[in-house]
């Protein structure tokens, strides 16, 4: 069966995420857009995944817990996990392997942790945007140790992508999937980077605002819709 996805979304926990991008709002917007499964992938944190998963269960939409990791090279990589427990274990690991700079909300925005009813339950003190200590060459293997999968984000963008920083996707990194912001560029990029022809290719919104979330257009074909099946299809 076809299941429509967006596996790269930010909540108000991301400092560049809009205040209206609460777990409740973004999950319900995903349902209105016709999506079947989404992933919450805030910058270097998974602390709003619990709330988003709870909202998803209420309305019948699968929410996969994740994170958009910033590697030591300033490359963005999407990390997805089959369970909240595994995502939070990864979150704890990353929290001890990232640069701690006090956030300035007046410049970067607040970093709010919320419950499923849009109640504020906390705020992360240190800025989530800076690079972590995890290098791109080892991130796939490290995420696998925590039971998840990992792939380079928005490889077609001019900044914060593996192609813009390194100029290539080295086979030794182990990635099985690559994400494009604009799927129409796939043919062009495959000519330049033949490794893409042997990878799973997905396209997601990377939405930081509700109005940037996409209608249901990209899908995975799965026997049944579970987090485990989604991850298996990408790995």
Number of domains in the chain: 1
Per residue in 82-112, pLDDT tens? 999 999 999 999 999 999 999 999 999 999 9
Pairing outcome for strands 120-123 and 112-114: antiparallel
Taken as a whole, the chain contains a residue count of 235
Tens digits of residue pLDDT in 200-221: 999 999 999 999 999 999 999 9
User: Which residues are paired to 213 by β-bridges?
Assistant: none
Q: What is the DSSP letter of 214?
A: P
Number of helices (H) and strands (E), helices first, in the chain? 8, 10
Q: Could you list the residue range(s) of the whole structural domain that residue 170 is in?
A: 2-233
Distances (CA, A) of 36 to 31, 55, 63, 198, 207: 7, 13, 9, 26, 16
pLDDT value at residue 171: 96
pLDDT score, position 84:
98
User: For all residues of the chain together, what is the average pLDDT?
Assistant: 97
**What average pLDDT does range 119-139 have in this prediction?**
97
Report yes or no on whether pTM surpasses 0.85. Answer: yes
> Counting beta carbons within 10 angstroms of the beta carbon of residue 133, is it exposed (0 to 12), middle (13 to 18) or buried (19 or more)?
exposed
Q: What percentage of the chain reaches a pLDDT higher than 90? A: 99
Q: Name 99's Cβ contacts closer than 8 Å, sequence gap at least 6.
A: 130, 131, 132
Residues 21-72 have pLDDT tens digits of 999 999 999 999 999 999 999 999 999 999 999 999 999 999 999 999 999 9
Residue 192: give its domain's CATH number: 3.20.20.140
pLDDT at 117: 94
Residue holding tokens 């914060």?
A: 160
Sign of the alpha-carbon dihedral angle for 132, 133, 138, 144: negative
d(CA 45, CA 66): 8
CA dihedral 159, 161, 166, 169 (to 10 degrees): -160
Report the pLDDT value the prediction gives residue 175, as an integer from 0 to 100.
98
Q: So what's the pLDDT on residue 111?
A: 97
Exposed, middle or buried: residue 28 (CB in 10 Å: 0-12, 13-18, 19+)? middle
* Nearest to 41, CA basis, from 5, 82, 70, 69: 69
Give the pLDDT score at 129: 96
Please list the residues that pair with 40 across neighbouring strands. 9, 65
Read off the pLDDT of each residue in 155-159 and give the average, rounded to a whole number. Answer: 97
At residue 137, the pLDDT reads: 97
pLDDT score of 59: 97
């Amino acid at each position: 069966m076809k299941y429509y996805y967006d596996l790269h979304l930010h909540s108000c926990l991301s400092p560049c995420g809009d205040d209206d991008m609460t777990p409740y709002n973004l999950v319900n917007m995903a349902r209105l857009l016709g999506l079947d499964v989404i992933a919450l992938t805030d910058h270097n944190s998974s602390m709003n995944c619990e709330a988003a998963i709870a909202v998803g269960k209420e309305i019948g939409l699968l929410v996969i817990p994740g994170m958009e990791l910033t590697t030591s090279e300033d490359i963005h990589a999407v990390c997805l996990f089959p369970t909240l427990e595994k995502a939070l274990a990864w979150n704890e690991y990353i929290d001890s392997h990232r640069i701690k700079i006090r956030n300035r909300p007046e410049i970067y925005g607040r970093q709010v942790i919320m419950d499923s009813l849009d109640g504020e339950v906390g705020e992360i003190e240190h800025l989530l945007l800076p690079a972590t200590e995890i290098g791109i060459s080892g991130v796939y293997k490290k995420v696998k140790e925590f039971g998840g999968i990992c792939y380079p984000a928005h490889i077609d963008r001019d900044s914060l992508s593996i192609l813009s920083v390194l100029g290539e996707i080295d086979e030794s990194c182990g990635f099985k999937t690559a994400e494009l912001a604009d799927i129409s560029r796939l043919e062009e990029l495959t000519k330049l980077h033949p490794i893409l022809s042997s990878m799973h290719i997905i396209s997601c919104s990377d939405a930081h605002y509700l109005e940037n979330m996409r209608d249901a257009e990209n899908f995975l074909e799965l026997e049944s819709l579970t987090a485990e099946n989604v991850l298996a299809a990408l790995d």
